[in-house]
Chain A
């Protein structure tokens, strides 16, 4: 496979499944760091309502960043940070009390 073709498939993988998983993790993780707001619900409601915007932002960034490695780095870092946040919350005793 030529390097051009490899780059194309790498970008397709990043902008497709990887960005989707990252957007899902950002949505779920958002519940843990977004302010709750006056009704105590914004941290849960806003990430669900804004999921299409989170996904679209990440998708266009992954498609348009000229440096593919950097795009992988940014998206992966965002996904891993939120995954770690979610894991830390789930492992915390009495997290859902």
Chain B
């Protein structure tokens, strides 16, 4: 039990409640889309599979694919190359140069291509800035829609990142104050009163989910606000102070690979051999490859390896690009181990939960789902207690509109993706317009329907039905059916379909619950207040 003076406990309780009231709905949106984004890779694989399963996105022959592309690319874009697996294990390669955009932020311009690693065939080739290329990336569009909503709520740079950064800080505050105001932490981990007052049961469920989730919420909030503020404002501000505003130079310095010294043209070493060597050294798979100065004597190839079993971090290997020889192992940042690099490297696995494959992702999904549940039930408890007052009735309606309308919007955006792709529409426009229209319709339902419980049933029921029908739409819009999927080794597609249908059935199952009474007793929140007084 944490001992606090009555005055301080009250202050913390007020901060906990009001930070949730002001930012709770947006926070819920960020958490819920974050839950979906945990499986962004799997969503990409499911929505846009290649005709047959690709076991290895970097097979022997990768060198030929990349070399062939390099020959067709303007040498100005040989400044840097990335290649890594994307939806369906397509091999995505992006030759580019760095430039400064109209808004003064650094950006990349170049040529991107997607390959089918099984056949080595180029599937698609696009030119333009990084944003232009991303806008034409239909294969990853559904996953990207979810991730972009999570990362910046689809708002322009840097405002979206700044907003999600503030939301991350609000979640950090809610986690810390939640830890302190729930004074009987151990007891509350196991207290669920099922008999009697339904609101009290709802309050107990909120507290149990929130209490178990506190450490995870803290980690997610911390890492999330770091990611948002780091790129939106931390790097530019730090570059201004320490590097005279030169962000490129700051990134070069921090990453640690020495800058160019020799522009003499040189034939690149064998990438296949480098990939094989990196796999042998690490016992891990290659995750991402960066090549600096393709076709020059000072070319460097950096292999970022996936996580090894039992490790939170993967190693990075640097090779001389011109001769393919191994140069050195390096941490994520700098050329030798440091506290800064270790902390920086921990941020990704802790936020994305991708360090132990599907198992850790499932845990992150479940904990994230609990976080979304806590944020929305917290708001429902707060507004239910006050819904007799006119102003709070609007927040209650908004909570229902967003709480139940957002999942429906996300599922219908997936509908728009499959439908738009089959009909030849721009999938990004189709998803965004469907999503916004669904949110608008949800608001109309929540504000117009007399009883909010009816709005809840309608929106949740629609979400359940839309989820159940989604695999059918995927198949009828050109995706492989189950028989084809089994035949081509795409069993994960079937598994994902089943998970989607189970999600829909879960939504329908929750409808059996009788909604809370319209004029609820005040016991639940009073008890929370009592916690602060005792």
Tell me whether A and B are bound partners. yes
Spell out A's residues near B (CB within 8 Å). Answer: 24, 27-29, 31-32, 37-53, 55-56, 59-60, 63-64, 66, 86, 89-90, 95-96
Partner of B241, one of A31, A46, A50, A55: A31
B106 CB–A CB distance under 8 Å: no
Please tell me which one of the listed residues A29, A56, A63, A96 contacts residue B246 in the complex, with CB atoms under 8 A apart.
A96
- Distance in angstroms from A84 CB to nearest chain B CB is 13
Complex CA–CA separation, A41 to B252 (angstroms): 11
Give the 6 A-B CB pairs with smallest separation, nearest first.
A39-B334, A45-B340, A96-B244, A39-B338, A48-B234, A42-B340
Is B131 close to A, CB under 8 A?
Answer: no
Cβ of B237 < 8 Å from any Cβ of A?
yes
CB pair A39–B343 under 8 Å, yes or no, is: no
B242 at the interface (CB under 8 A from A): yes
Q: A60-B176, A95-B244 are in contact. Are A41 and B230 (CB under 8 A)?
A: no
| B241 with A41: CB separation less than 8 A | no
Tell me whether B11 is interfacial, beta carbon within 8 Å: yes
Among the listed stretches B166-174, B453-461, B507-515, which one makes contact with chain A, having 4 or more residues with CB under 8 Å of it? B166-174
A-B contact pairs, 16 of them (CB 8 A): A27-B237, A28-B241, A31-B238, A32-B241, A37-B340, A38-B336, A43-B242, A47-B234, A52-B168, A52-B221, A56-B173, A59-B173, A60-B176, A63-B11, A86-B241, A96-B242
Are the CB atoms of B230 and A42 closer together than 8 Å?
A: no
Alpha-carbon distance between A63 and B229 when the two chains are bound, in angstroms: 22
- Main secondary structure on chain A at its contact with chain B? helix
Q: B235's contact among A43, A48, A96, by CB below 8 Å, is which?
A: A48
In the complex, what distance in Å separates the CA atom of A59 from the CA atom of B225? 15
A64 touches B331 (CB 8 A): no
Q: With A41-B253, A45-B254 known to touch, is A29 a contact of B241 (CB < 8 Å)?
A: yes
**Complex interface: chain A residues within 8 A of B343 (CB):** 45-46, 49-50
| Chain B residues in 8 Å Cβ range of A41 | 253-254, 256, 333-334, 338, 340-341
Q: Tell me the complex Cα distance, A86–B244, Å.
A: 12
In angstroms, how far is the closest chain A Cβ from the Cβ of B35? 21
- A46's nearest neighbour on chain B, judged by CB, is B340
B interface with A by C-beta (< 8 Å): 7-8, 11-12, 15, 168-169, 172-173, 176, 221-222, 225-226, 229-230, 233-235, 237-238, 240-244, 246, 250, 253-254, 256, 331, 333-341, 343-344, 347
Interface contact tally, CB-CB below 8 A: 114
Give CA–CA (A48, B247) in the complex, Å: 14
Do B234 and A39 touch (CB < 8 A)?
no
Given contacts A28-B237, A48-B230, A90-B241, 11 further A-B contacts (CB under 8 A): A27-B237, A37-B339, A41-B333, A44-B238, A45-B343, A46-B339, A49-B343, A51-B226, A51-B229, A52-B226, A96-B244
Chain B residues with CB below 8 A from A29, complex form:
241
A52 to B335, CA, bound (A): 26
Minimum Cβ distance to chain A for residue B174 (Å): 11
The residue on A at minimum CB distance from B330 is A39
Which A residues are CB-close (under 8 A) to B246?
A: 96
Contact B233 A24 (CB under 8 A): yes
- A47–B237 alpha-carbon span in the complex (Å): 11
- Set of chain B residues within 8 Å of A55, measured between Cβ atoms: 169, 225
Residues of A within 8 A of B254 (CB): 41, 44-45
B169: chain A residues at CB < 8 Å are 52, 55-56, 59
Taking the closest CB of chain B, its distance from the CB of A59, in whole angstroms, is 7
Contact B331 A27 (CB under 8 A): no
> Known contacts A37-B338, A64-B8; is A44 also within 8 Å of B256 by CB?
no
Q: Which of A42, A46, A63 interacts with B15 by CB under 8 Å?
A: A63
Contact A45:B335 (CB < 8 A) given known A31-B238, A51-B226, A56-B169: no
Cα separation A46 to B243 with both chains bound (whole Å): 16
Q: Which residues of B contact A90 (CB under 8 A)?
A: 241
- Distance in angstroms from B164 CB to nearest chain A CB is 12
Query: Residue among A37, A53, A90 with the most chain B CB within 10 A?
Result: A37
B226 contacts across to A, CB distance below 8 A: 48-49, 51-52
CA–CA, A24 to B341, complex, Å?
A: 21
Q: Assess the B168–A49 pair: CB atoms within 8 A.
A: no
Interchain CB contact under 8 A, B242 and A42: no
Nearest CB in chain A: distance from B334 CB, A: 3
Contacts A49-B347, A56-B176, A63-B11 hold; do A39 and B340 have CB atoms under 8 A apart? Answer: yes
* Bound-state Cα–Cα, A96 to B243, Å: 6
A40 to B337, CA, bound (A): 10
A51→B243 contact, CB < 8 A: no
| Chain A nearest CB, measured from B170 CB (Å) | 10
| CB-based contact B222/A24 at 8 Å | no
A28: chain B residues within 8 A (beta carbon): 237-238, 240-241
CA distance A16 to B265 in the complex (A): 55
- Cα distance A24–B336 in the bound complex, in angstroms: 28
In this complex, what residue of B is CB-closest to A89? Answer: B241
Q: When chains A and B are docked, how far (Å) is the Cα of A28 from the Cα of B229?
A: 13
**In the complex, what's the smallest C-beta–C-beta distance from A35 to chain B, in angstroms?**
10
Chain B residue with the shortest CB-CB distance to A28: B241
Nearest residue (CB) in B for A42 is B340
Q: Which B residue sits closest to A47, measured CB to CB? A: B238
Chain A residue with the shortest CB-CB distance to B180: A60
In the complex, which residue of chain A has the Cβ closest to the Cβ of B175? A56
